[in-house]
Amino acid sequence: MKTYRLVRFSSELDGLALEDAPRPALAHGQVRVRVRAVALNYRDLLVARGVYTRNPRIGLVPCSDGAGDVVEVGDGVAAVRVGMRVAGTFFQTWLDGAPTRAHMRSDLGGGLDGMLAEEVVLDEHGVVEVPAHLSWAEAATLPCAAVTAWHALVSAGGLRAGDTV
């Protein structure tokens, strides 16, 4: 399969290389997603330039936001099925509650390999179903932007149930 990897930091984005890579193995509780669309965020540019605050690593598969269809499920997967349209969540291990430092290190295309590949393997709980009315491109734009909006309204803004925006 084809995947992009960060081979050097560069302001011109020529530090990305398209490579042939083996299909990642599935572990217990994981799903394989055929990536149909990837969104580019400003954060992804900072990662490629080597100036993102979490010190990106050479060899990283970039891009936090992407959407695709599930083509295989591993043992123990209960809530995701083959054929489901999904997007990867920005923080793979943050499911609820206040975010921790460990959650912050589970960001796709930063702490973990991202979505800029033909196929990716993600934990079952690291994907969300994409509504059928969204195109692949539309679905791919949601993870980072949605988390950013949520953070602005809830974490920073103090929005609570019953409040009006």
Residue 20 class from Cβ within 10 Å (0-12 exposed, 13-18 middle, 19+ buried)?
Answer: exposed
CA distance 139 to 136: 5
Q: Within 13 A of 26's CA, how many CA atoms are on the CB side?
A: 16
Structural domains of the chain sorted by starting position, each given as residue range(s) with its CATH number in brackets: 2-156 (3.90.180.10)
In this predicted model, what pLDDT tens digit does every residue of 17-67 receive, in sequence order? 999 999 999 999 999 999 999 999 999 999 999 998 777 899 999 999 999
Residue 78 class from Cβ within 10 Å (0-12 exposed, 13-18 middle, 19+ buried)?
Answer: exposed
In this predicted model, what pLDDT tens digit does every residue of 104-132 receive, in sequence order? 889 999 999 999 999 999 999 999 999 99
Number of H helices, E strands in the chain: 4, 7
Handedness of CA 83, 88, 92, 98 (dihedral sign): negative
Band of pLDDT at residue 146, cut at 50, 70 and 90: confident
pTM (2 d.p.): 0.89
